[in-house]
Amino acid sequence: MNRAASTPPEPPGSPKKLRILLAEAGAGELARALQELIPNLGSECQLTLATSVPTLVPTIAAVRPDAIFLDISLCWPEPLQVVRRVRGAAPSTPLIILANPADKQFAALSLAEGAQDYLLKGYVDARTVERVLRAALERAAVAAESPEVLRDALTGLYNARGFETLAERALQRTRRAGGTLLILWVREEKLEAVRAELGSKAAERLQMEIAEVLAGSFRRSDLLGRVAEGEFVVLAAEAGEASAPLLGHRLETRLAQQNRAAGRKFPLTVRVGSRLWSAESDVSLETLMRESAAAAGAPIAGNAPRPELVTAPQGNRAKD
């Protein structure tokens, strides 16, 4: 592992290294997880360790990292100020925060300062780090191509184009890994009633609330999109059939919390349809989304329906 070393230019035609900067007081559980993960990343990887805040920004300039992991315990007494400095030094580089469970509030606040995700100590392993890192790198690459056309201006979630672009990549990655993922279609039930009685601004606020509920119900590495008026879709990576009841419960809990607001005439009410997709499936993303939308059941602030596993017919195994 390099320690704050400068990075010379790569010779023309040489394979691009994946440069990861880890800002941590010492080689802890995240460093171990990254070192375990490196052989699986599919490219040559350079891992650099910065052990103090004063060396952090100079190291960013020297290494030019593709991703930054920042242990927030290194940043006291002003952790969010350090996050801002890192974002200022590398505004387009994915920043992932590492925090003690007791400091989770600061990790969550760092998302508003531009961090893309956070990990909690004690829950860090190579598989989790790989999922978070790959999602961060993928989103950064897509955003660099056309950031203004991938986000929904109303909610900040991905729009239809952004969601479909990243979801196609997620399907390819899941197929290579031999895994499964879950697609959930979420439809706001009261949107037209709100629009008719309270106006278009109230309908917009309602959709913004649904976006907030979804963001609080799913992992930051999951894909969230608003693909039409009142229509939302979620891709939960590495989610199996057993994940569906847990995700349904989280969504139900968040809806109930939001609906407890006093003086609410129209409670948030959604229909949810879901489909599980396996690596052996030959079902396209378009079909998967259409089927999950068609499966949206009765209005809920309750449990989402149990998803149906989508797989290829016997003898029709999909080819990479």
- Cβ neighbours of residue 202 under 8 Å, at least 6 residues apart? 194, 195
Cβ proximity of 45 and 126 under 8 Å: no
Place of tokens 């023309």: 12
CA torsion sign for 196, 199, 205, 211 is positive
Q: How confident is the model at residue 58 (pLDDT cuts 50, 70, 90)?
A: very high
Identify the pLDDT of residue 317.
Answer: 36
Exposure of 297 in the CB half-sphere (CA atoms within 13 A): 14
Mark which of 145, 178, 210 sits at the end of a domain: 145
Whichever domain contains 267, its CATH number is 3.30.70.270
Q: Are 234 and 300 contained in the same domain? A: yes
Cα–Cα–Cα angle for 213, 240, 139, rounded to 5 degrees: 60
For residues 10, 12, 15, 21, the Cα torsion angle rounded to the nearest 10 degrees is 20
Residues in the chain, overall count: 320
Identify the pLDDT of residue 97.
Answer: 95
Which of 233, 223, 222, 210 shows the shortest CA–CA distance to 289? 233
Q: How confident is the model at residue 298 (pLDDT cuts 50, 70, 90)?
A: low
Which of 41, 48, 51, 42 shows the shortest CA–CA distance to 19? 48
User: For the chain, how far is it from start to end, CA to CA, in angstroms?
Assistant: 34
Identify the pLDDT of residue 311.
Answer: 35
The string of pLDDT tens digits covering residues 175-207 is 888 889 999 999 999 999 999 999 999 999 999
Q: How confident is the model at residue 146 (pLDDT cuts 50, 70, 90)?
A: low
Whichever domain contains 62, its CATH number is 3.40.50.2300
Q: Domain for residue 73, yes or no?
A: yes
Mark which of 111, 145, 179 sits at the end of a domain: 145
More confidently predicted of 314 and 109 = 109
Identify the pLDDT of residue 9.
Answer: 44
Identify the pLDDT of residue 145.
Answer: 66
Measure the CA–CA gap between 278 and 179, rounded to whole angstroms. 6
The string of pLDDT tens digits covering residues 242-263 is 887 788 888 988 898 888 875 6
Q: How confident is the model at residue 289 (pLDDT cuts 50, 70, 90)?
A: very high
Instruction: Give mean pLDDT, residues 126-146.
Output: 82
| Helix/strand/coil for 187 | strand
* Domain tally, the chain: 2
Mark which of 100, 130, 145 sits at the end of a domain: 145
Q: Domain for residue 269, yes or no?
A: yes
Instruction: Give mean pLDDT, residues 38-44.
Output: 63
Per-chain mean pLDDT for the chain = 83
Identify the pLDDT of residue 173.
Answer: 84
Res 214 pLDDT > 90: yes
Q: What is the DSSP string of 42-93?
A: SS-EEEEEE-SSTTHHHHHHHH--SEEEEEGGGGTT-HHHHHHHHHHHSTTS
The string of pLDDT tens digits covering residues 227-245 is 999 999 999 988 887 887 7
Identify the pLDDT of residue 16.
Answer: 66
* Residue type present at position 258: Q
φ, ψ of residue 103 to 5 degrees: the values are -105, 20
Place of tokens 């035609």: 13
Q: Are 153 and 279 contained in the same domain? A: yes
Identify the pLDDT of residue 300.
Answer: 54
Identify the pLDDT of residue 264.
Answer: 78
Place of tokens 């195994």: 317
* Residue type present at position 236: A
Domain coverage including residue 44: 18-145
